Structure 1
């Protein structure tokens, strides 16, 4: 009797990036099938949480692998569907989005077919994820007006302009930037005061900045916290330039530390961003879930 092949559920977003998955889906399925995976598909609908529900169903149905094809938002939704399952399938990633931050951190090829060929080598590493009162994230949780850019950029604009769409939206928001008041409490740190933004990173690559959290690792059981204190607009632009080189953490206007658990709250109404999607208001307690998933690299 022939040995049963491992089952994979491909969850793909047809509108991610420049809608590339629409054109390469047949090639993707062929590579996965030829590589030994019995693969079925779920095309995400334009409904919040659809990829999360599809991933949870795949976990409950006993799939061995769940492969997220799309951008960071699609990957994050899939992770949220897998994270609370009693038996968690191995995560695969096909980077078909605009930024693909997690894929960059894992050195997954940007080329779709190359990423598929890497998947069927079945090499895995443990993956930490962040958790905030039942909501999971793989790259970043953050607050501050700049963090609102990612979920305010229309999908059609991202399809047309790619990464440039975020910069266009960022320039639009610059004149409206105002500091927020935050209170941060952790076992090894506390901060109280005004800030331009507060980022809680799981990976070193955030929003296309590959050195924003230069000490971050995806398997160390720690979250990297970056707080930019109140600064003038020209100073903020200089810090953004320094962040391209990972040199921003040397500034006295930047607080950078690592912890496995922290609580953030505010006297103001402050909204959160989870992996580029709206995440509701503060307060929240954040913690690192060490080696919570396995991911194909």
Structure 2
């Protein structure tokens, strides 16, 4: 039987990581045929995944943050093939916040993350398919809008490198007092909502923006998306901040938010609304977001809290 054949697609920002180089060498010495490709510009991940499929690669590993994971997953998702016919997907967390990896329980250690891919059988993973004015997008973790999106987009790259997820909190504090609500209309099966919102989460995963748990109960294999709408709080801001301090983020979210689980949702706005799709901001006056069940197969921990069904 030939050795397992892997292709690691590495975000160019982490190309000089010596620990990753050592972990790759360890896997090679253990019998894995592991090749590395480094992304430098738009379109690289698409090309590398196409090459991996043509080469009969067993597993494609995204080495980077949530954006890298989403980009690699998207290049698999839009192929004209079912999940079983495509390479499985792994993740080595090398980003600033690593929201998906954190929520999923993927190890921080680079060698441990690669060993996970080797030791755990890949299982079906849902993806979000987003139809916007400019075309189709895919999202592996979470689509967010409103205050959280503006914080993520505006956070300085240098600050992120120095402080990691804390950079998002600092940027958020700097924005307090100038949160402009967004007007939107949302509808789904037996659901409709219209009004002003300051934050929106559409989750396959649970958190984004360095730990903002907008969809704290989301699962990645239930065929459903988790929708969280935080309305304009107006006079409730002080009470919400008090709850946040005393009881934690989840309690504050439960107090003010509308939360529901749906197979799809449509958003509309008179002005362009920006959704952040795992780091990719997309502006549109209308979105349709569908949860596509089991679109790819991913190596996740046996006790992954994001899974409804335990991994084999």
**TM-score, L = length of structure 2:** 0.85
Equivalent residues of 1:131, 1:288 under 8 A apart = yes
The separation in 2 between residues aligned to 1:288 and 1:267, in whole angstroms, is: 25
Equivalent residues of 1:200, 1:225 under 8 A apart = yes
- Residue in 1 that maps onto 2:70: 76
- Residue in 2 that maps onto 1:63: 57
1:37 aligns with 2:37: no
Compute the RMSD of aligned alpha carbons: 2.3
- Residue in 1 that maps onto 2:87: 89
Shift of 1:156: 2.7
1:223 aligns with 2:225: yes
1:144 aligns with 2:142: no
Structure 2 counterpart SS, 1:175: coil
Equivalent residue for 2:254, pick from 243, 247, 250: 250
Change (3 A) 1:218 1:7: same
- Residue in 2 that maps onto 1:27: 22
Structure 1 counterpart SS, 2:162: helix
Equivalent residues of 1:69, 1:75 under 8 A apart = yes
Structure 2 counterpart SS, 1:272: strand
| Runs of 4+ with >6 A deviation | none
Gaps of 5+ in 1: none
Equivalent residues of 2:272, 2:283 under 8 A apart = no
Matches within 5 A, 1:1-20: 3-15=1-13, 19=14
1:267 aligns with 2:270: yes
Shift of 1:236: 5.5
Per-residue deviation, residues 241-279 of structure 1 (Å, max 9, x unmatched): 58945223431x310000001100101221111012212
- Residue in 2 that maps onto 1:116: 114
- Residue in 1 that maps onto 2:306: none
Change (3 A) 1:150 1:283: same
Equivalent residues of 1:99, 1:163 under 8 A apart = yes
Shift of 1:164: 1.7
The separation in 2 between residues aligned to 1:182 and 1:268, in whole angstroms, is: 9
Equivalent residues of 1:209, 1:244 under 8 A apart = no
The separation in 2 between residues aligned to 1:242 and 1:261, in whole angstroms, is: 34
After superposing the two structures, state which structure 1 stretch, 205-214 or 90-99, moved more. 205-214
The separation in 1 between residues aligned to 2:228 and 2:290, in whole angstroms, is: 15
**TM-score, L = length of structure 1:** 0.89
